[in-house]
Chain A
Amino acid sequence: MRIIKRKVFFAWDFEKEEEWLNEMSKKGLQLVSVGFCKYIFEKNENIRYTYKVELLDNLPGHYKSQDYIEFLEEMDIEHIGSYIRWVYLRKDVSKGEIELFSDYSSKINHYKKVLFLILAITPLMFFNTINLYNSYTRSESYLMLIFFGLFLILFTLMGVGVLKLYKTIKELKEESSIWE
């Protein structure tokens, strides 16, 4: 039996997304496929998985990504689906823990990748917000005002997300200047 759930997670909240997927797995809902804000689960209470969401350098079809995914599969980590450069991975709990990074530099590297992804779309978001505001002042249409409001909220959330990531990276860097 397949169950589809729709839910929004922002890129900087990928760890919350993982927690949610793990919670769902405990309840017997095993993620088997993903789409845009869409999660497809299969009901199975006889197994439990831990999930990881990773942002790759390339699209999943790229040979470098394929090589990496094969490498993970050797270690009982299954690739169940992707969304753009994000891959969804899982491991049967009975086969051990799933941890993708075991040192500061690789952890920092992954957070940085997520940060750059967000920073890359910031200008686009900014100009869209300004454009919507201009459209509203010209047309005085309430629809434009609503769009402008939505973009403004999204833009603010992105800002908070960037700060959060920045803080995490800074803390990890401080640790890594003393410990390995």
Chain B
Amino acid sequence: MADSNYSALTEAVYYILLSLYTPLHGYGIIQYVEEISNGRVVLAPGTLYGALSTLQEKELIKPVNTESNSRKKEYLITKIGKQVIKEEIDRLEELIENGKKTLEGELK
């Protein structure tokens, strides 16, 4: 993900990463994302599973050892993941700023 400067995160990935600032398992992620997006983003299990595998491969998230004997795997965002989120927020701010300026007639 060294080229994160050049590409945007998908909405699903952005929200998955945000949800993992505290450890969560699959179903927990779906619930959290649905909640903070006011029900707008509902991740489907197949999509989430694929995203979690890829994010793990790219080391943006990592599995955490859960204390109990629960079989449910929990994940946490990594340092690289947090960096990616920071850069993404900067990118989004630029988009919003330019959008607003255009609407206000400052840009053409």
| Known A68-B49, A70-B71: A101·B44 in contact at CB below 8 Å | yes
B residues engaging A (CB < 8 A)? 10-12, 25-27, 30, 42-50, 71-72
| B44 and A180 contacting across the interface, CB-CB below 8 Å | no
| Contact present for B12 and A103 (CB under 8 Å) | yes
Measured CB to CB, the closest approach of chain A to B2, in angstroms, equals 21
Compute how far the CA of A103 lies from the CA of B45 in the bound complex, rounded to whole angstroms. Answer: 11
What chain A residues lie within 8 Å of B71 (beta carbons)?
A: 70
CB-based nearest A residue for B25:
A74
How many pairs, one residue from A and one from B, have CB atoms within 8 Å of each other in the complex? 45
- Some 28 contacts from A to B, beta carbons below 8 A apart, are A54-B46, A68-B49, A71-B26, A72-B45, A72-B49, A74-B72, A75-B26, A75-B27, A75-B30, A75-B45, A77-B45, A99-B42, A100-B44, A100-B45, A100-B46, A100-B47, A101-B44, A101-B46, A101-B47, A102-B12, A103-B12, A105-B10, A106-B44, A106-B47, A106-B50, A110-B46, A180-B10, A180-B11
Please tell me if the beta carbons of A102 and B50 are within 8 angstroms of each other in the complex: no
Interface pair A102/B43, CB less than 8 Å apart: yes
Residues of B within 8 A of A44 (CB): none
Bound complex: CA of A74 vs CA of B12, how far in Å?
19
Give complex CA distance A75, B27 in Å: 6
User: Which of A71, A100, A105, A180 has the largest number of chain B CB atoms within 10 A?
Assistant: A71
Chain A residues close to B by CB (< 8 Å): 54, 68, 70-72, 74-75, 77, 99-103, 105-106, 109-110, 180
With most chain B CB atoms within 10 A of its CB, the pick from A54, A72, A103 is: A103
Contact status A106-B10, CB under 8 Å: no
Smallest CB separation, A172 vs chain B (Å) = 14
**Alpha-carbon distance between A106 and B11 when the two chains are bound, in angstroms:** 13
Query: Cβ of A68: which chain B residues have Cβ within 8 Å of it?
Result: 49
Cβ B10 vs Cβ A103 within 8 A: yes
State which of B26, B27, B42 has its C-beta within 8 Å of the C-beta of A102.
Answer: B42
Rounded to whole angstroms, the CA-CA distance of A99 and B47 in the bound complex is 9
Contact of B46 among A74, A106, A180 (CB under 8 A): A106
Q: Which of A54, A100, A109 has the most CB of B within 10 A?
A: A100
